[in-house]
Chains A and B, each alone.
Chain A
């Protein structure tokens, strides 16, 4: 590792590691059929889920690593702990959560956020959820918000009906891996015409070294309902890599609206390989607000399948790639029905040798007449050591449609920096100002508290990286 890389690490404020955590279960390193069975039996799962895992494991073995995208050669599947948990149960009050773990979440600010502006929180620590709570008023309305293991025990029928229907195990190597060894994640069910006004948040924390976190999230918004889900993630800095490979499936039924916001701030040794997809039915609205600041490598392209007429999908993706980081992010929109509309806005910032890639797909299938789509990609490159690439793919099979695409790459902005500095701002302030302005369209979509936090994180990253 170069010094540059280490300097970046020094500034990562969530890089602390709880050394004295008492791990209740750790099934050791490596992956095998036996490990998959063991995970299932620890969780006392029904046989259908156990079989689903085993089938997925075969698919995982049969699939090659992707030969496109970021460099994944640093992943050693045999060096990963696939299931590791510090608690044998989940708590409904922070007072009951083991002290060490509670302290971690307090440092990250989760209990405080919950008190102030959230309708519910799930907190996952390595493989299992350690805390979960939802406002009573929502429970009374029939809203379900829990970890996916709990959901499988308490609402097996709903889980079985939807699990793997949006993202089958065979979708890609990492969705197969997730299906085989998944643990934790969020399950949300919002009944018809129910409006969940405050956001629900899940907080994912990896603590131990070489842990794989494979949460599985399933969100079902029934007709006419509305929910905003926010996920945040951090991890300690270890010298060896960890892997986070989640699968997120979302069903947006007729006239419903789901917004999924991510502030991904993994430490610089995490491989973040996530599959996220939404199905949007008639007149439904699905939105991904996807912010990637951390990780060593991220490959993530949230997608919307617009299945019903009048459905709308929106993806707002932002990536910051600092020293040693590769953010390969973007989004996919598939128009399948008439009068569907979509928008992809991607913004990336590269600095200090970081690399960002926009990779996107826009597909308009036959019959999706009068559909409209707009794709806008902006890349900001802060110095000559850094890199940005754009791979927009468009497959427009229906003629009667409107598609716009714009791509701009500003090498900042040297002229922008010169302009600001000619008014007396030093280089650091000028860069921060340009970057803050650049990400403003993203930040204004976040709830205020997250917006403030996100700006601060970008600021920290900017100060830490050499440029």
Chain B
């Protein structure tokens, strides 16, 4: 279980997240919905120790306190963040990057049960191609520079490919639906559902719109306003918000 306890986040001495507690079990899908400026993305990034944010509170992953671990260690322990704006890293091929990332997890002796040994480069390539195919990512993208010259939709699909390859225990998916057309949105949703089903990953989807929740049925929906969760419920809550907006919560 991922247990977030009284999470408080400051950025440049301003409080943006003010005491959020949340428990996510393996295989569960939670959605946090909120208007712009509610602190959703700050919350997402701070959970992964982004240097711009100061986080207070406690993050416990399967009984291990990981609050103060650096981002790379958190990742190897099983945390994943799908970025709202994935950066480009020219000259670093997707294939090579993911191979090194997988190897980094395997090399971490403090981590247990995180994916099978990498048998060979060729085998890894085959696996990667298979997973890419399910997301509609063409093979040629795998040898291109990471996000280099990728469209918004391609970048988001690549985030999902990383999710499938790294098989995290818990994934935070930050505003994945912005700027996606319906076809891309469906593929992205397919990626999330696949990792939940095959890897029993617990997922926290952060979103402004209800749109993606039409393709992934969340088990729980939380409404976040001004740094706090003001209401929690089931997927019906998302429908209500779609109809009446966030006004009544502000």
Contact = CB atoms under 8 A, between A and B. Distances in A.
Chain A complexes with chain B: yes
Interface of A: 413-416, 418-427, 429-430, 433-434, 436-441
Contacts of B101: 420, 423-425
A423 B89 contact: no
Contacts of B102: 424
A18 B1 CA distance: 63
Contact of B70 (A414, A419, A421, A441): A421
B162 interface: yes
B215 interface: no
B92 to A, nearest CB: 4
A427 B73 CA distance: 10
30 contacts: A413-B87, A414-B51, A415-B87, A418-B71, A419-B83, A420-B89, A420-B101, A421-B71, A421-B72, A421-B75, A422-B48, A422-B80, A422-B83, A423-B75, A423-B98, A423-B104, A423-B162, A423-B166, A424-B72, A424-B75, A424-B76, A424-B101, A424-B102, A424-B104, A425-B100, A427-B72, A429-B104, A433-B89, A437-B146, A438-B90
B245 interface: no
A407 to B, nearest CB: 15
Which residue, B48, B75, B162, has most C-beta atoms of chain A within 10 A?
B75
Q: Which 6 A-B pairs have the closest CB atoms?
A: A437-B91, A440-B91, A437-B92, A424-B104, A423-B101, A421-B72
Nearest to A425: B104
Given A426-B72, A427-B72, A419 B89 contact: yes
Contacts of A424: 72, 75-76, 101-102, 104-105, 108, 166
Interface in B48-62: 48, 50-51
A304 B235 CA distance: 67
A419 B104 contact: no
A433 B97 contact: yes
A416 B87 contact: yes
B91 A418 contact: no
B81 interface: yes
Give the size category of B's interface with A. 20 to 34
A425 to B, nearest CB: 5
A433 B90 CA distance: 10
Contacts of A441: 91
B86 interface: yes
A415 B90 CA distance: 13
A279 to B, nearest CB: 33
Contacts of A430: 72
Contact of A436 (B71, B91, B98, B108): B91
Contact of B145 (A422, A437, A439): A437
Contacts of B87: 413, 415-416, 419
Contacts of A439: 91
A462 B70 CA distance: 21
B155 to A, nearest CB: 11
Contacts of A422: 48, 71-72, 75, 80-81, 83
A305 B83 CA distance: 47
Contacts of B92: 433-434, 436-437
A38 B56 CA distance: 75
Interface in B30-74: 48, 50-51, 70-72
Which residue, A416, A419, A429, has most C-beta atoms of chain B within 10 A?
A419
B161 to A, nearest CB: 11
Given A421-B72, A437-B89, A438-B90, 7 more contacts: A418-B71, A421-B70, A421-B71, A423-B101, A424-B76, A424-B101, A424-B108
Contacts of B80: 422
A443 to B, nearest CB: 9
Contacts of B162: 423
Contacts of B100: 425, 429, 433
A438 B105 CA distance: 24
